[in-house]
Chain A
């Protein structure tokens, strides 16, 4: 039924255009029914896009190779789960997913907020509609997932590295994050257009921003784990442009989530916050552009790409119009309050913002530099790992330290004597940890040692904050210590959920420092019975096996692993040869030590016909803390996202005082 899919997308385009034109007219002329009609069009566009998505999904599941997209991304032998993931595996399908999530989020955000912020929502609808018009236009006219052809006997299959369970959740999570950032953007632009620059746009979008940010964060960690276990090069983050594409909006959104607190508490940084929302959304568009335009490979493939020029034009339009609106409203955005002291919580958050944005811009420069150099000099010059590592250390380490300092300083101003008292214990613990680590030999990497010391400092401040808060809640009448702890967290979920997220970032920092600054590597070509050593480990190559899987021939080398005199069992590493795709993938062997968080990581780089194998082996200390950080990050995100009834009651009471209907 490609006709139904095409028709549904045409309907979506029509509805989006109508919502844009009618919504703008209704907002400008103050027409109630027209505004409601535009809102209904936005909601209906989600329904129409869902029909198109259902048609594509059905075609994928039926192996209907008369759809060009289905034939290009799947094959009959592809397991069902990966056939579903092919929905977002190609350009046209992923653009349709963008549109589906966008219209869904737009419909939900407008419906949930239209009662208590209806004068603002009227202006938000055309902004959502403008974005969905662009994406609907792309899938209708430029990159349709419903193009047809005479059906071949079988499809081309899927890239082997994408045939992994992580691909079922990693890309959709990134899309939820990318598209989720359109909600704060639409509300911010709506507020600028309408001049309703009170706090309602922030309140309406707070949880959406948190959700988008959490989805991007978890999506990236899952992507890193996928790269670690599937791509088979021995690492988890390569500063690849596509990886950076997701990191940049996440950094901008992180800066916004911190600076928005300054606006809420002190009424400051209104211009800055609007700018951060614009930057985060523009970067999410840029991220989609990077992954889908082909520009990553070459500037020439960009010009040949069907969507590249459209995307670039849309990003330019978004940036220019948004900045013009900020400039237009800048007098209304000026804050009556000023920064009172450079030693205060708002100042610490501001430093944090500047560092996050500086890191973001450094990464952006690293991403665009090859394209610029190719455009200007005809040769793409890629900035390597050392460029990114330098800025990660230069901006990341102070950020880590600020994560411990910021939450413990008073708002407005703090005395130096007071700081000395507040940070006495965390500093003592951190210095002690640094000295012990130095004595244990961690001085071989100074950045690694600094990262560990700062991490200890931050963890100490977090533990101290939870302990002090729980004690205070107990003193205020909580019946038990667990009750006091629960009351503490539930009464201020954003603050204490934020601390849990900080703890996750600390675990991440320790994991990254351990696995990159203190790792070791060994390489050897072994025949059966040969052994090699790395650190305390001894590996003996025992056998080579081959079997036929559902869609690939699987070759595995088996190694016996010993640590000192202790037998740790066997480890298998090898390759999969995919028949239809005509590609070979590395299938690595990993042995994790749950107690120390260390991994023994084996790659069978080359398997010769005589049975000898060229192995590359890594020992990665503490690498598992990175994945543990993902779980802690998820916990912290859920705590911060959990609905806060007290806050809702306060907002409802405030709204009813002004005469706005009290439903939220």
Chain B
């Protein structure tokens, strides 16, 4: 009983220390604000996702055409549109990077 209580108390203290650790390590931080993406960074992330999606779709179409899974007819009907999507996705990213430096790296 005594050993069990001792072990339970040790467990409870260890957990309290783990929970309090961020406050013990930084009792008076310069900033306690959460590092979050601002609206511009979120928009940038969405554009990057759109770019990767368009590139991935084009790459898959090219490979499927090469294997013969996609016929010449379907390939011709789609490749133009997909290339335009990629170009548009890349174009959408240009003004952002052209405006200035990329967002500061976060730690």
Q: Which of B22, B36, B48, B50 contacts A33 (CB 8 A)?
A: B22
Contacting pair B15 A37 (CB below 8 A) = no
Minimum distance in angstroms from A154 CB to a CB of chain B: 25
| Chain B 69-95 per-residue mask, 1 if CB under 8 angstroms from chain A, else 0 | 111011101100100000000000000
| A602 contacts the other chain (CB 8 A) | no
> B23-72: which have CB < 8 Å to A?
23, 26, 29, 31-37, 41-42, 44-46, 48-50, 52-53, 56-57, 60-61, 63-64, 66-71
By a CB distance below 8 angstroms, the chain B residues around A264 are 53, 56
Contacting pair B53 A265 (CB below 8 A) = yes
Q: Which of A2, A43, A468 contacts B18 (CB 8 A)?
A: A43
Contacting pair B34 A659 (CB below 8 A) = no
By a CB distance below 8 angstroms, the chain A residues around B48 are 654, 657-658
By a CB distance below 8 angstroms, the chain B residues around A659 are 41, 102-106
- Size of interface on A: residues with Cβ below 8 Å to B: 64
Q: Which of B34, B46, B73 contacts A417 (CB 8 A)?
A: B73
By a CB distance below 8 angstroms, the chain B residues around A465 are 67, 69
Q: A14 vs B15: C-alpha distance in the bound complex, in angstroms?
A: 10
Minimum distance in angstroms from B70 CB to a CB of chain A: 5
By a CB distance below 8 angstroms, the chain B residues around A35 are 34
Contacting pair A7 B32 (CB below 8 A) = no
Contacting pair B44 A657 (CB below 8 A) = yes
Contacting pair A265 B21 (CB below 8 A) = no
| Chain A 624-639 per-residue mask, 1 if CB under 8 angstroms from chain B, else 0 | 0000000000000000
| A418 contacts the other chain (CB 8 A) | yes
Task: Specify which of B7, B45, B49, B56 lies most central, judged by the most chain A CB atoms within 10 Å of its CB.
Answer: B45
Contacting pair B44 A658 (CB below 8 A) = yes
Q: A230 vs B84: C-alpha distance in the bound complex, in angstroms?
A: 61
Contacting pair A11 B61 (CB below 8 A) = no
Contacting pair A198 B49 (CB below 8 A) = yes
By a CB distance below 8 angstroms, the chain B residues around A469 are 63, 67
Q: Which of B11, B31, B68 contacts A51 (CB 8 A)?
A: B11
Minimum distance in angstroms from A651 CB to a CB of chain B: 9
| A240 contacts the other chain (CB 8 A) | no
By a CB distance below 8 angstroms, the chain B residues around A15 are 15, 19
Listed in ascending order, the chain A residues whose CB lies under 8 Å from chain B are 1-4, 7-8, 11, 14-15, 18, 26-27, 30-37, 40-41, 43-45, 47-48, 51, 118-119, 122, 196, 198-199, 264-267, 408, 410-415, 417-418, 421-422, 465, 468-469, 471-472, 475-476, 650, 654, 656-661
